Amino acid sequence: MPDMGHIVHVIDRSGDVEGFRHIARLRGRDNSDEPRAMNLTARPSNGSQVARDRIDPAGRLANSIGELMGQLDGRVAVITGGGRGIGEAIALRYAAEGATVVISSRTASDLENTLSVAGLDSDRGLAVVADATDRDDARRPVLEALERFGRVDILVNNVGGSVGNNDPFLANDDAFESTLVLCLTSAWWTTSAVLPSMRDQGFGRIISIGSGTSKTTGASLPYTTAKHALVGFTKELAKTGAPFGINANLLCPGWTRTSLVDFERIATARGTSVEIEEERAASESLQHRVLDASELTGMATLLAGEDGRGITGQVISVDGGYKV
């Protein structure tokens, strides 16, 4: 099975992600939404109301989330792997919700594109080119966010994937270790960089992106191992952070429609058809469909905001009922 938790989003421009992009661009032009000190009761400004009214020309979001925009006003969020896929979708939603957004990736053009479509200038957006598999580089997004904005309220550990040939019969130590570093150790590096400041400010939200294979099997041995390990990482982190107002949760997607889940490539490798492979993926969930990356952003926003203050130490799936 292809990796499910870190996949590049294929944009449906009539759908939710484009709606987030539209409202994020509007908020990015609203000067009343400057970053400010933590305010748990901050409400959207008039500019935010305009954004809610114009959330999506297709109207798909107006009823579902139109009244909720502004949940992250005044917050500063760091999102690793924020240039594409699930990370990009979360970055766009957080921007639409009023957050200052710091995103990292190895590819500068992806980061620039995300900030551009979100309409974020240097007052509310920062792109950090960084390699999550390098300890010092992995910590830089947090450190640069602290230097620029003075605080980090939300950390989304989104980086992950499989590295190399993960056939366990080949005993490929490098591939196993590299996958664990990408999926697990990188989350520790960014988390360890942000914990002291979250403790000192008495508030923090740490959301790591797991996978359907955080709970079951279905991917490579190293990938499944790393994603299972994130469960223990999250629960212990929640216990450690609770006295200081720090919540930690694991958000687990299943099959998500992105370009890394390339059904044409899968079909070619298996000698089948795109239709057969799409159907096979969809059949693994109760809803019999492949989700869009934007469908994870509602839960990511809940976990990051004040309404999610009572949720910590949890492994939460947004996957259409994957392998239930």
Catalytic residue among 94, 176, 189, 223: 223
- DSSP for residue 113: H
Tokens 């490579």 found at: 220
Residue 42 domain-assigned?
A: yes
Annotation says 223 is catalytic: yes
Please give the pLDDT value at position 16: 56
Calculate mean pLDDT across residues 243-269.
89
- pTM of the model as a whole: 0.81
Do residues 161 and 183 make contact, with C-beta atoms less than 8 angstroms apart? yes
Distance CA 233, CA 207 (A): 11
Number of domains in the chain: 1
Residue 8 resides in a domain: no
Q: List, for residues 2-24, the tens digit of each pLDDT value.
A: 444 433 333 333 345 566 665 65
For position 308, which CATH number holds? 3.40.50.720
For residues 202 and 245, the answer to whether their CB atoms sit within 8 Å is yes
Over the stretch 56-76, which tens digit does the pLDDT of each residue have?
333 334 444 445 579 999 999
Residue 49 above 60 pLDDT?
A: no
Residue 7 lies in a domain: no
Q: Determine, yes or no, domain membership for 215.
A: yes
Closest residue by Cα to residue 152 from 79, 59, 90, 66:
79
Domain boundaries, position 291: 16-318
Domain membership of residue 94 (yes or no) is yes
pLDDT over threshold 60, residue 150 = yes
Identify whether 10 is part of a domain.
no
How many Cβ atoms are within 10 Å of 275's Cβ, its own excluded? Answer: 10
**10 within 8 A of 257, measured Cβ to Cβ:** yes
Q: Which amino acid is at 319?
A: D
What is the C-alpha to C-alpha distance for residues 322 and 8, in angstroms, rounded to an integer?
19
Q: How many CB atoms lie within 10 A of CB 272?
A: 14
Q: Is 206 exposed, middle or buried (0-12, 13-18, 19+ CB in 10 A)?
A: buried
Beta strands in the chain (DSSP E): 76-80, 100-105, 125-129, 154-157, 204-209, 246-253, 315-318
According to DSSP, the β-strands at 154-157 and 125-129 are unpaired
Domain-embedded: residue 3: no
The answer as to whether 11 is a domain residue is no
C-beta of residue 218 within 8 angstroms of C-beta of residue 197: no
